[in-house]
Amino acid sequence: MMKDIRSLTSSELKKAVILMGEKPFRSKQLEEWIWTKSAKSFDQMTSLSKSFREKLSEKFYLRRIVLSEKQKSRDGTIKCAFEVEKKSPADSSVVEGVLIPTQSRMTACISSQVGCSLACKFCATGRLKLMKNLSAAEMYDQVENLASIASEEYNVNLSNIVYMGMGEPLLNYSNVLESVNRICGTPGLGMSPKRITVSTAGIAKAIKRLGDDEVRFNLALSLHAANDEKRSKIMAINETNSLEELAESLKYFYEKTGTRVTFEYIIFKDFNDEIKDARELAKFCKNVPCKINIIEYNAIDEGEFEQAEIYNVDAFAKFLEDRNLIVNVRRSRGKDIDAACGQLANKNKPGEGALKKVLHST
């Protein structure tokens, strides 16, 4: 059976090249074509001999995700629908990535799964079933496509990458870490890991594993309430990953990596927008060096929440700032193309895909 050549590690690829009777250095040339030059077929790899290319075609396939639709918001945000390989005929093959331009940054937001299994109540993606973990190559391709669009549309390079699209990245742990390695590697895109943020709904064991692996990228926790009762109402994951467990895992992560954590806090009207909620958040922030992103809520179809009043958001932020906490209030972008935080959910046709918590961390 033929195998996806981009699923091989560097050492596996080198071994395969030697078994085909080629010199070991050919594997480096091959990797450069695959990861840096973005070849779409073996025939495009003109520095490799024809016989070598033929042998590769007999043993491996080279498949890349396909950009099927692109929409541009009035604020410059660009939403892309990408078609990926299906796990089964009944599954969706569409994931979404978003390019977010601001005055100081050009950010690519990418997905890690098709669908999501966590069912957070405020998120349209949470209403979908989990259909597939994306491969490292499929995540890499999203970044590569968005980097090309940034160059074409704005004549600038990507400055940041956030894993904040569809899915829970830490439930696709190995592929996410491999994609980061490829994005940061050479051959690869050569990005600094400090320009990358991986966001999680909060899986304590996986956060500790990040610490053990001494990752160099940034970690963001979707918190949204610093009270177990409230958080469990909107995030079922909290029932098996309590705030106490998360605090312990975050302390461990910080001890191992020295990296400050970001807390994401979507603020909902009459739910988590009062000063008592801010006081609970401030207390939780004592567990680990952190910064806080307060995110405005964007309504979804048949959703039960509303956007908090501006004066409540401002008072909430001031309370935290008065306690010497780093606070950023994030205004969602791309609303006119349904690309704002939590609004989207995959439907049958490309372009109607989903992003879990996009457009708020840049």
User: What DSSP assignment string belongs to 301-354?
Assistant: TT-S--BPPHHHHHHHHHHHHTTT-EEEEEPP--GGGT-STT-----SSTT---
Does residue 13 contact residue 32 with C-beta atoms inside 8 Å?
A: no
Residue 341 is predicted with a pLDDT of: 53
Q: What tens digit of pLDDT does each residue of 2-26 get?
A: 999 999 999 999 999 999 999 999 9
**Coil vs helix vs strand at 262:** strand
Residue 91 pLDDT: 66
Intra-chain end-to-end CA distance of the chain, in Å: 43
Say which range, 78-87, 124-133, 136-145, 181-190, has the weakest mean pLDDT.
124-133
Q: Which residues have a Cβ under 8 Å from the Cβ of 286 and sit 6 or more positions away?
A: none
Residue 69 in tokens:
């639709």
- Residue 129 in 3-state DSSP? coil
Judge whether 3-61 and 66-337 match in fold. no
CA-to-CA dists, residue 101 to 82, 141, 218, 334, angstroms: 20, 19, 20, 10
Q: What is the pLDDT of residues 21-59, one digit of tens each?
A: 999 999 999 999 999 999 999 999 999 999 999 999 999
What percent of the chain shows pLDDT beyond 70? 89
Q: What pLDDT band is residue 174 in, cutting at 50, 70 and 90?
A: very high
The question of whether 290 is a catalytic residue gets the answer no
| Burial zone of 124 (CB within 10 Å; 0-12 exposed, 13-18 middle, 19+ buried) | buried
As a whole number of angstroms, the distance between CA 309 and CA 311 comes to 6
CB burial readout 77-109, b (16+ within 10 A) else e = bbbbbbebeeeeeebbbbbbbbbbbeeeebbbb
List Cβ neighbours of 347 (8 Å cut-off, separation of 6 or more).
Answer: 353
Which of 96, 138, 144, 168 is labelled catalytic? Answer: 96
SS3 call for 219: strand
Tell me what the pLDDT averaged over the chain comes to. 90
Query: The domain 66-337: what is its CATH number?
Result: 3.20.20.70
Segment 78-104 mean pLDDT = 87
Per-residue pLDDT band for 299 (boundaries 50, 70, 90) equals confident
Q: Is 138 known to be catalytic?
A: no
Distance CA 30, CA 226 (A): 49
> What CATH number labels 3-61?
1.10.150.530
Query: What mean pLDDT is predicted for residues 91-116?
Result: 91
359 vs 142, residue with greater confidence: 142
pLDDT confidence band for 335 (50 / 70 / 90): low
Domain boundaries, the chain: 3-61, 66-337
pLDDT at 361: 38
What is the model's pLDDT at position 147?
97
